Amino acid sequence: MFQGAITAMVTPFSGGELDLARLRDNAAFQIERGVGGLVPCGTTGESPTLSHEEHDRVIEAVVEAAGGSVPVIAGAGSNATGEALRLTQHAKQVGASASLQVNPYYNKPTQEGLYRHFMTIADEVDLPVVLYNIPGRCGVALSVDTIVRLADHPNIVAIKEATGSLDVASEVAARTDLCILSGDDSLTLPLASIGGRGVISVASNIVPDRVGAMVAAALGGDFESARRQHLELFDLFKAMFIETNPIPIKTAMQIAGMDSGEVRLPLCAMSDANRSKLAEDLKKYRIG
């Protein structure tokens, strides 16, 4: 159902307000360059800073812009199960293809609590679920045993693997039929070697065609070409995390003439030193 370069979209702001026109332009740019899907309101979309009304408007705008041409995986996770349910119900109502469900953060639930959280969402909303295992952001990780339990549910179809562990991803691949999507651009190719189907990508905000070509080569079995493209893009992948995501990608988009506005507090503008370094990195890719 999901494969290729799937873009983790930024949320554009102008003067502190949502810029839906820019959001639609960004979605059109991605679709024109052949992405395999769009993910609004994820980590890269600064979802914790959006009001419920803003969150709904972003999902609606991206679904409308996609027009069914590519899947839209709506970020609908929360550390409150009731809130995640409401967001997921809204995503289904407006026509999203699936929901992205992050591990509940800050609460630090037990594995049983994580299991019940995700099962509640999968039981109550008939919409495909992409689990999002990112302990570095959430303070808690889904264990492989819990992922295996969840994979029995027909609505739980995929996992965004962002633990940074190939061992975890390999065990998930060996014990489930879940579609595995990389949560880190730099690990997309290694994950493809053990059955990964693509990436929910930060870098594809600015180079969707290049990230897509790398994934297509790997999925087509041309690992020599995929390896070459991975190495060519590796510095760019790492540059997207010289400060907290999405500060670097939004800064890179500004430099590239694709300005999506400021980040919202508590994130803030990139330091001058890092901005200069990022600008130099982008020159290597003829960006900006």
Q: Annotated active-site positions, please?
A: 132, 160
The angle, 0 to 180 degrees and rounded to 10, between the axes of the packed helices 247-255 and 272-283 is 60
69: closest CA among 32, 17, 106?
Answer: 32
Asked if residue 199 lies in contact with residue 215, where contact means CB atoms within 8 angstroms, the answer is: yes
DSSP 98: E
- Alpha carbon distances (Å) from 255 to 45, 235, 283: 19, 17, 10
SS3 39: strand
CA 38 – CA 8 distance, rounded (Å)? 6
- What sign results for the dihedral spanned by CA atoms 173, 175, 179, 181? negative
